[in-house]
Amino acid sequence: MASTSRQDADVSANSPFSLENLYMDPDDGRQRFLLELEFVQCLANPNYIHYLAQNRYFEDEAFIGYLKYLQYWKRPEYVKFIMYPHSLYFLNLLQNANFRSAMAHPATKELAHKQQFYFWKNYKNNRLKHAMSRHVAEPVASASASASSPPPLLLTADAITASTAVPAPSHM
């Protein structure tokens, strides 16, 4: 009797439907990673968010929990895989119930889409203007600072090693 129950246990453990095999991931989470990455990146599209709102996905508490779970994509080890950074911005906005309900309206979807378009259209120019203004401001600031302060000391490799040399131990 004991041998048959042991055989049944061995058979059930080797069965593809056993509890041990039920939650095993055959590809070590690669497929889940790719599916979640694709979903998060779809959130960069205001039309898709509007679709989700229109089809009442945002009324499902499980889906809201899933959106909260997806916040891990903002961590540095995951953010490097994101190709559309707006997806993370919209993921943040989707944590707010007011934004979720507003995205059900076509006017809000269009507003978000236009704002996104204008950001993309002007992003490069705005960055160049910002970089140029910083570049022009730096020499002026350094010129005024050099007039009031003594010239900086030049550090050589010899000066660095001399200042970091360890004193010899005393024989007391």
Read off the pLDDT of residues 128-146 as tens digits, 9 standing for 90 and up: 777 777 766 555 555 555 5
Query: Would residue 101 count as lying in a domain?
Result: yes
Q: The domain that contains 102 carries what CATH number?
A: 1.10.10.1340
As a whole number of angstroms, the distance between CA 48 and CA 50 comes to 5
pLDDT in the model for residue 161? 38
Read off the pLDDT of residues 71-119 as tens digits, 9 standing for 90 and up: 999 999 999 999 998 999 999 999 999 999 999 999 999 999 999 888 8
pTM, to two decimals: 0.59
Query: Would residue 17 count as lying in a domain?
Result: no
Per residue, the 3-state secondary structure of 18-52, as one string, reads: CHHHHCCCCCCCHHHHHHHHHHHHHCCCHHHHHHH
Higher-confidence residue of 44 and 171: namely 44
Q: What six digits make up the tokens of 92? A: 């943040």
Report the SS3 class of residue 67. helix
As a whole number of angstroms, the distance between CA 18 and CA 8 comes to 12
Query: Would residue 153 count as lying in a domain?
Result: no
Domain count, the chain: 1
Residue located via tokens 């996104």: 116
Query: Would residue 146 count as lying in a domain?
Result: no
Angstrom distances, CA of residue 110 to CA of 34, 52, 75, 140, 171: 29, 15, 30, 44, 81
Residue located via tokens 């509890």: 19
Q: Which domain holds residue 45?
A: 27-139
